């Protein structure tokens, strides 16, 4: 038996392939078939408004995945865009990188810190997840590796992700320094890397510190595999099913825009298909 897991979330730039990111391919267990599903509506959630658009686009992906026979979807972003709506609207296993990684952190320690490559102006993404998941009291801090002035637009964001893919030593040192500060100054005993785009450097930085470090892409994907293996998914009592007649509205709204890109080819969280082939 093979379980099919749809991977939703690579940023706004289309890859033109169904090949999932390399970190997922490398850890996928036998009997699981991860496949990338690209959204028809693409935008980077730089603001709460953009977050709402992204949630709609990701929900559309999940509904289409269920129609195609997928067994699970993994939201490959710490923002978990559309996760509650997916759990309500589908009968698949639904896992978000943010929610799953926070749960793993509190299972292995008392208080965790989120260390993210992105600047404070994007902290609303992690703050929403902490609030929705009831994790505010377990989170010691959010540590930002970069400042707002360092990431003011697409060009700076692209440079950051390029450095992550190249496992830039200077950037890794800044991440390690932020982790050590979270432990020594904030009281964290476990660390969550706050963006799935940090996957290329996750193992490297984890090897340089003395507390557990959970990289969100790998942690979230493996959670999806675990739930499928256990034969459980989210509770319908917690996520009631909508009126079936309303489910087609999402696809109609997204289809009305075509394959629309709202905001440029931002490289945030995009896996380069040319350098990342199986």
- Say yes or no: 191 and 160 in one domain: yes
- Say yes or no: 102 and 209 in one domain: yes
Q: Is residue 175 part of a domain?
A: yes
C-beta atoms surrounding 276 within 10 Å: 18
- Say yes or no: 160 and 255 in one domain: no
- Say yes or no: 210 and 233 in one domain: no
- Say yes or no: 106 and 210 in one domain: yes
In tens, the pLDDT along 88-98 reads 999 999 999 99
Task: Supply the range of the domain harboring residue 110.
Answer: 98-216
Q: Is residue 192 part of a domain?
A: yes
- Say yes or no: 109 and 40 in one domain: no
In tens, the pLDDT along 217-247 reads 999 999 999 999 999 999 999 999 999 888 8
Q: What is the CATH number of the domain that holds 166?
A: 3.40.50.12500
Q: Is residue 275 part of a domain?
A: no
What would the two tokens of residue 107 be?
């299972």
pLDDT at position 251 over 70: yes
Give, in order, the Cα–Cα distances in Å from 241 to each of 14, 60, 86, 155.
31, 16, 10, 42
Q: What is the CATH number of the domain that holds 46?
A: 3.40.50.1860
Q: Is residue 270 part of a domain?
A: no
Can you give the C-alpha Rg of the chain in angstroms? 18
pLDDT value, residue 224: 99
Q: Is residue 32 part of a domain?
A: yes
pLDDT at position 210 over 50: yes
Mean pLDDT of the chain: 86
- Say yes or no: 87 and 116 in one domain: no
Q: Are 61 and 42 in contact (CB under 8 A)?
A: no
pLDDT at position 274 over 60: no
Q: Are 195 and 23 in contact (CB under 8 A)?
A: no
In tens, the pLDDT along 142-187 reads 999 988 676 655 545 555 565 566 567 888 999 999 999 999 999 9
Q: Picking from 34-38, 206-210, 247-251, which range would have the lowest pLDDT averaged per residue?
A: 247-251
- Say yes or no: 15 and 111 in one domain: no
- pLDDT classification of 42: cutoffs 50, 70, 90: confident
SS3 196: helix
Mean pLDDT of 4-21: 78
Closest Cα to residue 123, out of 85, 78, 73, 179?
78
Rounded-to-integer distance, Cα 23 and Cα 72, Å = 18
- Say yes or no: 129 and 182 in one domain: yes
pTM passes above 0.85: yes
Mean pLDDT of 51-60: 92
Q: Is residue 206 part of a domain?
A: yes
- Say yes or no: 210 and 234 in one domain: no
- Say yes or no: 187 and 210 in one domain: yes
Mean pLDDT of 56-78: 96
Helix 123-132 to helix 48-67 angle, to the nearest 10 degrees?
Answer: 60
Count of the separate structural domains present in the chain = 2
Q: Is residue 166 part of a domain?
A: yes
* C-alpha 56 chain-centroid distance: 15
SS3 150: helix
Q: Is residue 159 part of a domain?
A: yes
- Say yes or no: 103 and 211 in one domain: yes
pLDDT value, residue 269: 46
């Amino acid at each position: 038996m093979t379980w099919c897991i749809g991977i939703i979330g690579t940023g706004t730039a289309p890859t033109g392939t169904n090949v999932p990111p390399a970190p997922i391919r490398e850890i996928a267990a036998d009997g699981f078939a991860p496949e990338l599903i690209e959204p028809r509506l693409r935008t980077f959630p730089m603001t709460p408004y953009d977050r709402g658009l992204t949630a709609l686009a990701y929900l559309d992906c999940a509904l289409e995945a269920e129609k195609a026979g997928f067994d699970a979807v993994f939201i490959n972003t710490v923002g978990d865009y559309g996760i509650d709506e997916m759990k309500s609207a589908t009968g698949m296993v639904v896992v978000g990188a943010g929610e799953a990684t926070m749960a793993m952190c509190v299972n292995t320690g008392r208080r965790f810190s989120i260390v993210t490559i992105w600047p404070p102006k994007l902290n609303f993404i992690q703050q929403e997840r902490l609030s929705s998941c009831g994790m505010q009291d377990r989170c010691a801090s959010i540590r930002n590796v970069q400042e707002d002035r360092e990431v003011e637009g697409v060009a700076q964001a692209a440079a950051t992700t390029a450095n992550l893919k190249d496992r830039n030593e200077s950037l890794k040192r800044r991440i390690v320094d932020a982790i050590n500060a979270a432990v020594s100054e904030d009281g964290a005993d476990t660390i969550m890397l706050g963006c799935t785009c940090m996957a290329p450097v996750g193992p490297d930085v984890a090897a340089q510190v003395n507390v557990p470090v959970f990289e969100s892409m790998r942690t979230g994907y493996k959670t999806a595999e675990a739930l499928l293996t256990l034969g459980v998914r989210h509770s319908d009592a917690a996520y009631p099913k909508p009126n079936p007649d309303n489910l087609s509205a999402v696809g109609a709204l997204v289809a009305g825009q075509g394959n629309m890109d709202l905001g440029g080819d931002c490289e945030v969280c995009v896996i380069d298909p040319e350098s990342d082939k199986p």
